[in-house]
Structure formats: structure tokens, C-alpha cells
Amino acid sequence: MDIKIKDVAKAANVSVATVSRVLNNSGVVTERTRLKVQEAIESMNYHPNATAKFLRSKKTMMIGVIVSDINVSYYAEIVKGIENMAYSREYKVIICDAHNQKEEELGYLELLLNRTVDAMILVSMTGSISDELIGELADKGYNIGVVGKCIDHAGVPCIFTDNVKFSMNVVHHFIEQGHRSIAFLSGYPDALDSYERLEGYMKALREHRLPFRQELIENGDFNEKGGYHAFLRLIGKGLPFTAVYSANDEMALGVYRACAEMGITIPKDLAIVGVDNNRISRYITPRLSTVDQPKYAMGALITEKLIDQMNENQFKEQRVFKVDSELLVRESSRFAK
């Protein structure tokens, strides 16, 4: 059906090896021969079969990206960074959206094992893919990169931000603004991000010798709706608090909605800070204070490292990258009560 390398070789009066050489710019070919071959390729409209090339060369130039939910803007931004860097290095990316199902995440690993992709980037913190598993795979020679946490295993590039640190900054900021009773809205409890942000929250309270009260903690799910309900439960307890640290912006949007319904004015009655610098945070009124993580850059960097490592066939000098996140103070937390 399609025209193949053999046909081109025949037409150009050379061997398939020569055609392959000009296609891949490998080996040496006379300028005259090259021209002859290129002409044949052109005129016959030849497109080398990529699947045959994959098999033979043992490379697909594809990278898989496993995310738990591409609808979450945090993940989407990281993926954009990955995609762009991959593109500039001539790699394609396959999005593996787990639709929030842990089993799906594991299933996508098959693409790595069966050689559909040359490497896999994990951008998902649900823990369905354990550190041990990642380590084992890396030992077997599979290329894996991790965004959002640190894996203690040679050859696995990792990039993440310091959740504890920026969470402490958020609490410091609240305290500076005069708040003393600060609630914390967590994401789903088993997420590493939830845990570390809570840790930072507690640590900052301790530093300021402020009491930690379990009742001021509620679990959401990192979504608008979950934030809404979690906040309602918080209010329902009847405890006084004047500020809320929401583990991400999505949930903060839920808090905005609940406040609107209950006649609570932000920031006069309640100050709030989120995490992610979701685009909406800049457009909502009052603008939401938030923590900006360099999502795009993180995606780009991990991809670059992973590709370098694959091609240089040796571990990169630096394997673990901890990047800083910045607290953006906007109107939602600017005026102390």
C-alpha cells in the first residue's frame, strides 16, 4: 500500500542503507547521492514508517505524563511546561489523565514497560505509585521523573517546592495582619501536599506560640465544591476564627461562594489565602491572595533533565530540585480585622 524505503532506493538507484543514511543524516553520503535520494523521496512523497523505526531503533521519542486530573489547573500548567520543553527537544507527549482513579495511574505505567514511551513523568501525588515501585523501575533502566515530591533514589530526577516553608509564610502573613485564630482547609488527607501544608501551618503557629486547635482543621478535596462544604462544616462548629488558609485556590473559591451566601465579607470579616495562583484568583473580587508555584518552569525543568539523562546515558550532576514559591498578597488578606 504505502511506499517504503525499498521503493525509494530502487527509484534513486541506491541501496536502502543509503536512503536510511540520508533520512537520518547518519554515516557519510556524497552530496550527489544525497541529492538524488532526496529528489526521489520528494517526488514519491515518501514518509518513513515511524513504527518500524521505533522497533528497530528502540526509541519512540515519546514521553508519557501521568496526572491524576488534568482539569486541575495546577497539573495542567505543569503539563504545559513539559509539553513545551519536550517539543523543543523533538519529543511528543502523551497525556495520561487518570481521571482521579488511582488504578488508572498504575495502568498507565504499562506504556513505559511496553516501550510505547521512552520515559514517564509522574505528576501525581495520590501515592498510588509508590516510591519503592519507582525505585525498582529506575533500577531496571526505565526513565522516570517526578514532579511534586522527592524520591530518594539515584537516577530519578525530582522537582518540588517546599510546602512547609511557604505554608509558614502564609501563617506569618496572617499573624502580621493581626490574626490570631487561623483555620486550615486541607485537601484530601492522603495527599502529600495536604500533609506538608498542614505541617507548615502547625510549625508557624508553634513559632508564634499560638495554640494549635484540631477543630480549626477541615478536610476538603482540592475542588471548589469540597472547599465549600468543608468551610460550611468549619463554620458549623461555632468556633471563632478570622482567617482561613486554604490548601489550594479551588477550595478557596468554594469559601468565597459560602461567604457570599452567608453574608461574610472578605477580607473585612474573614481573610483568606490559597495556593496555586490559579488564573481565577486574579479575576475574582476581592482578588485572592495565593502562593505562586513555578508550575510551568517545574514541568520544563524536569523534562529537560530527564531527556538529558536519557541521551547522555548517565545520571545528571543534580537530580533533586527544590524550587521556591512566592506568596502573592492581594486584597483577600490585606486588611487585618
- Residue ranges binding DNA (CB under 7 A): 1-2, 4-6, 13-18, 20-21, 23-24, 26-30, 32-33, 48-49, 52-53, 55-57
User: What does the per-residue mask of binding to a second copy show for 119-158, with x meaning CB under 8 A?
Assistant: ----------------------x-----------------
Q: How many residues does the chain have?
A: 337
Sheet holding 243-246, edge to edge: 217-219, 182-186, 243-246, 271-275, 289-292, 326-328
Q: Which residues contact 309 (CB under 8 A, 6 or more apart)?
A: 143, 155, 157, 315, 316
Minimal distance, residue 215 CB to a second copy, in Å: 30
Q: Within 13 Å, how many C-alpha atoms sit on residue 159's CB side?
A: 27
User: What does the per-residue mask of binding to a second copy show for 55-74, with x meaning CB under 8 A?
Assistant: x--x-x-x-------xx---
Nearer to DNA, 31 or 152 (CB): 31
Count of residues touching a second copy (by CB under 8 A)? 40
What does 6 interact with, of DNA, a second copy, none (CB < 5 to 8 A by kind)? DNA
Nearer to a second copy, 48 or 135 (CB): 48
Q: Where are the alpha helices (DSSP H) in 13-49?
A: 16-24, 31-44
Minimal distance, residue 106 CB to a second copy, in Å: 13
Contact criterion met (CB below 8 Å) for 186 and 163: no
Contact criterion met (CB below 8 Å) for 217 and 198: yes
Buried b (16+ CB within 10 A) or exposed e, 59-69: ebbbbbbbbbb
The Cα 314–Cα 97 span in angstroms is 30
User: What does the per-residue mask of binding to a second copy show for 282-311, with x meaning CB under 8 A?
Assistant: -xxx--------------------------
The Cα 27–Cα 120 span in angstroms is 31
The Cα 286–Cα 265 span in angstroms is 10
According to the binding rule CB under 8 A, does residue 80 interact with a second copy? yes
Minimal distance, residue 23 CB to a second copy, in Å: 11
According to the binding rule CB under 8 A, does residue 99 interact with a second copy? yes
According to the binding rule CB under 8 A, does residue 103 interact with a second copy? no
- Residue 131, number of CB atoms within 10 A of its CB: 15
The end-to-end CA distance of the chain, in Å, is 75
What does 80 interact with, of a second copy, DNA, none (CB < 5 to 8 A by kind)? a second copy
The contact set with a second copy (CB under 8 A) reads: 1-2, 47-52, 54-55, 58, 60, 62, 70-71, 76, 80, 83-84, 87, 92-97, 99, 110-111, 113-116, 141, 253, 279-280, 283-285
